[in-house]
Amino acid sequence: MLFVQCYQDFIYNLAGSMAGWIALYLLTFRLMTPVPDKTGTLIPATLNLQSLGFADLTLSIFALLGITCKLPQTIEGFINSFARIVEAIAGKFGSK
């Protein structure tokens, strides 16, 4: 039983960490894409800060949680909170 629990923790942390590193790579790729200058030529290896948006914020949070191995716990927390909301709504409708 202890082996299964350790194996499960290893897989969760491995998957979460890999997802975090992939998100960091995607964020770096999005920020380091070449941008055209005024003449239209592409300037390589410069930070493309003009295209920062909500997706980049999401990627950075996902990368931070994944690399620190907190991604599985965070996703589990969201699922549990959603389940509690559904139970509370069902309890209000079921009590009438």
Residue 19 phi, psi dihedral angles, 5° rounding: -65, -40
DSSP 40-62: S-EE-S---GGG--HHHHHHHHH
Which tokens in the block code for residue 66?
């994944």
Parent domain of 76: 2-94
pLDDT at 45: 62
| pLDDT tens, residue by residue, 30-87 | 887 776 777 777 766 666 677 778 888 888 998 999 999 898 889 999 999 999 999 9
| pLDDT tens, residue by residue, 3-24 | 777 788 888 889 889 999 999 9
Q: Is the pLDDT of residue 1 over 90?
A: no
Q: Is the pLDDT of residue 96 over 60?
A: no
* Total number of domains constituting the chain: 1
